[in-house]
A and B are shown apart, each in its own frame.
Chain A
Amino acid sequence: MRTRSGWWVAGALAVLALSMVAGLLGGAADISPWQVVLQAADWLPYVSVDSGLAPVEQGLLFELRLPRVLVAAVVGGLLAMAGAGYQGVFRNPLADPYLLGAAAGAGLSATVVIVLLPASAAGVPVAAFVGAVGGVFLAYVLGNTAGRAGGTATLVLAGVAVTSFLTAIQTFIQQFKVEELQRIYSWILGDVGGGWDQFWLVLPYAAVSAVLLLAHGRVLDVLSVGDEEATSLGLRAARVRLAVLLAASLATAAAVAVSGLIGFVGIVIPHVARRLAGGSYRIVLPLSLIGGAAFLVLADLLARTVIAPAELPIGVVTMFVGAPFFVGVLRMTRRSAT
């Protein structure tokens, strides 16, 4: 069992490495994949290799492509892993990282900043981060005051209420500022081209939430027998749920802050992981992290190249490509209902 998990992780890492090389190549015809690999090695600390690339090409790779690939990888990994965490906490395969109002909260506060400070681009990520955290917090407080402390059903309902309420406000505001509609929409549809700044911005949150979530794999497996039985096994279910929700929401907020509301990754990738490698969160969480990263790097590659030199919004690509991909995986691994 454990060695099999190891193979899955190794395989996923290989796929991720390949997609990152593809992402760096990005359709430019005059650079060979091998040169990209050499160049990537050269960027590593204490390693110096000659890739044979001209300084202009090196600059293009380093200043434009590399941060883009890295942001896509981090965002994809965070969203997929957060999705897996939410599914574990709610014991519901349809849960996604936006379930508790993270998306609506981020959408609202990003819209407010875009409308009030049309000139500033720097404020949007911070606002989105705060909004996402705020949305989840609101849903959590509401859910816990309305229902039995720690129960999941009221929590989901509170998430639905918070989402529709905040979305209503957001829609209302954007109708007043039609001239900003384009910017608001392109933010919502997602973008990972923010450069190194965005990468450094997201990295600390990504690291913290990834470590926290990965550490909770076993406990989430225990939680999968339900609150009552988990308690009889000596686990404090409500406390586990809170810890995982915190970590997953932090991951979601960080991802949303630098990339907008990219859909589909958070729900599909954990399912693919589960289909391929089995139901244990100990393997689903790391596979989601790696698989989500690879998926979003490839999605961004498509977004940049399909109608080059123009770009498709990445959120459109994830849904357009992701849906048939998902159906394909479901068919390939068909077995008794999960």
Chain B
Amino acid sequence: MIEVSALSVRLGEREVLTGVDLSVRRGEWLAIIGPNGAGKSTLLKAVMGLVRHRGTVVVDGRAAATLRPRDRARLVAYAPQAPSLPPDMTVLDYALLGRTPYIPYLGRESRRDREVTASVLERLDLTGFAARRVGELSGGERQRVVLARALAQEAPALLLDEPTTALDLGHQQQVLELVDRLRVADGLTVVTTLHDLTLAGQYADRLLLLADGHAVATGPPAQVLTGKLVGEHFDARVEITPGPGGRPVVHLLRGAT
């Protein structure tokens, strides 16, 4: 579904990504992990065509560079790590923004656009919030609203940058389960960055470990989440034990520096 090869990005004077390859099949869940500043967010933005880059990005068999923004937005939806939320906008209007690629430039949203948006709000437990102003929500509520916007886009591929950071335990599970259900039911392709390595290992089919702009490891969770790789690239001392379903669970060890 998404094929990235030899992707390099320069921001200002710094080379933020160097020769990154990435490939996600339709219906697959890829989690990008890596320490702060590794280039995870930049990688997602490059796939969205939001930063200038070298190398090629192919989405659904088509070179992304040749896609009109509108067509690209129908293929890939993106929820940024730090979205900017217009404080006065209502939750419903904000989620409706996700329908932008389907609304004619000077036109207005159709009945179907409203229906899709309403059903997404319902699935995310947000129906009661529809008339609330976005500026009056808690951090976790905001994060769900942003996810609602991305889901309203009805794109076959979903790029989520840290979708669970502000969520409580229950909502983390709810959001990731929802994404997983959509993936299974509609064959959605999912790429997320996730700081919680255990969560990443639980939900993703494959992990991509980025460090300092390089893809240093990729593969199924058990291959990437090893004490050696995590210790080396996160500069952390951890113990990794097999968890439910044989997927690795990462424990931080106390008293280590």
Chain A residues engaging chain B, CB cutoff 8 angstroms: 1, 215-216, 218-219, 221-222, 224-226, 228-236, 274, 278-280, 336-338
In the complex, which residues of chain B have a beta carbon less than 8 angstroms from the beta carbon of A222?
97, 100
Q: Are B90 and A224 in contact (CB under 8 A)?
A: no
- In the bound assembly, the distance between CA atoms of A201 and B103 in angstroms comes to 36
Q: A225-B83, A338-B88 are in contact. Are A233 and B100 (CB under 8 A)?
A: yes
Whether A1 contacts B97 by the Cβ 8 Å rule is: no
Complex CA distance for A1 and B109, rounded to whole angstroms:
14
Question: Min CB distance, B66 to chain A, in Å?
Answer: 15
Given contacts A219-B106, A222-B100, A228-B80, contact A234 B50 (CB under 8 A): no
CB-based contact A235/B100 at 8 Å: yes
A216 touches B153 (CB 8 A): no
Contact present for B153 and A233 (CB under 8 Å): yes
B135, A336: Cβ atoms closer than 8 Å: yes
CA distance A164 to B78 in the complex (A): 42
Of chain B, the residue at the smallest CB distance from A219 is: B105
Chain A residues lying within 8 Å of B90, measured Cβ to Cβ, are: 1, 278
Question: Which residue of A224, A230, A232 contacts B89 across the interface (Cβ within 8 Å)?
Answer: A224
Contact (A215, B80) CB under 8 Å given A228-B50, A234-B73, A279-B86? no
A84 → B minimal CB distance (Å): 13
Contacts A222-B97, A228-B50 given; indicate if A1 touches B73 (C-beta within 8 A).
no
Q: Is B108 an interface residue (CB 8 A)?
A: yes
Within 8 A of A (CB), among B88-113: 88-90, 92-93, 97-98, 100-101, 103, 105-109
Which residue from B77, B88, B97 sits with its C-beta under 8 Å from A225? B97
B70 located at the interface, meaning its Cβ lies under 8 Å from any Cβ of chain A in the complex: yes
Nearest Cβ in chain A — how far from B58, in angstroms? 18
What is the bound-complex CA distance between A336 and B136, given in angstroms? 9
Q: A216-B106, A218-B103, A228-B45 are in contact. Are A236 and B69 (CB under 8 A)?
A: yes
Smallest CB separation, B232 vs chain A (Å)? 33
The interface residues of chain B lying within 8 Å CB-to-CB of A337 are 87
B residues whose Cβ falls under 8 Å from a Cβ of A? 45, 48-50, 68-74, 77-78, 80, 83-90, 92-93, 97-98, 100-101, 103, 105-109, 131, 135-136, 153
Closest to B70 in A: A234
B30 → A minimal CB distance (Å): 18
The residues of B that contact A218 with a CB separation of less than 8 Å are 103, 106-109
Q: In the bound complex, do residue B89 and residue A280 qualify as a contact, i.e. CB atoms below 8 Å apart?
A: yes
The answer to whether B93 touches A232, judged by C-beta atoms less than 8 angstroms apart, is: no
- B103 partner residues in chain A, CB cutoff 8 A: 218
Supposing A224-B86, A235-B69, A280-B89 touch, asked if A229 and B101 sit within 8 A by C-beta, the answer is no
Interchain residue pairs A-B with the least CB separation, the first 5: A279-B88, A234-B73, A234-B101, A234-B70, A233-B100
For B89, list chain A residues within 8 Å (CB).
221, 224, 279-280
User: In whole angstroms, how far apart are the Cα atoms of A325 and B198 in the complex?
Assistant: 57
Question: Which residues of A lie under 8 Å from residue B107 when comparing CB positions?
Answer: 218
Give me 17 other A-B pairs in contact (C-beta within 8 A), A234-B68, A338-B88 excluded. A1-B92, A1-B93, A218-B109, A222-B97, A222-B100, A224-B89, A225-B97, A229-B78, A231-B49, A232-B48, A234-B69, A234-B100, A235-B70, A274-B88, A280-B93, A336-B135, A338-B135
Neighbouring B residues of A228 by C-beta, 8 Å? 45, 50, 80
**Complexed CA–CA distance, A222 and B80 (Å):** 15
Q: Report Cα–Cα, A224/B85, bound state, in Å.
A: 8
A337 to B80, CA, bound (A): 24
Q: Which residues of B contact A232 (CB under 8 A)?
A: 48, 50, 73, 77-78, 80
Chain B, Cβ-Cβ closest to A234: B73
Contact A225 B98 (CB under 8 A): no
Closest B residue by C-beta to A230: B100
A157 to B: closest C-beta gap in Å: 19
Contact between chains at B84 and A231 (CB < 8 Å): no
Contacts of B50 in A (CB 8 A): 228, 231-232
Min CB distance B147 to A, Å, is 13
Cα-based distance from A225 to B84 in the complex (angstroms): 5
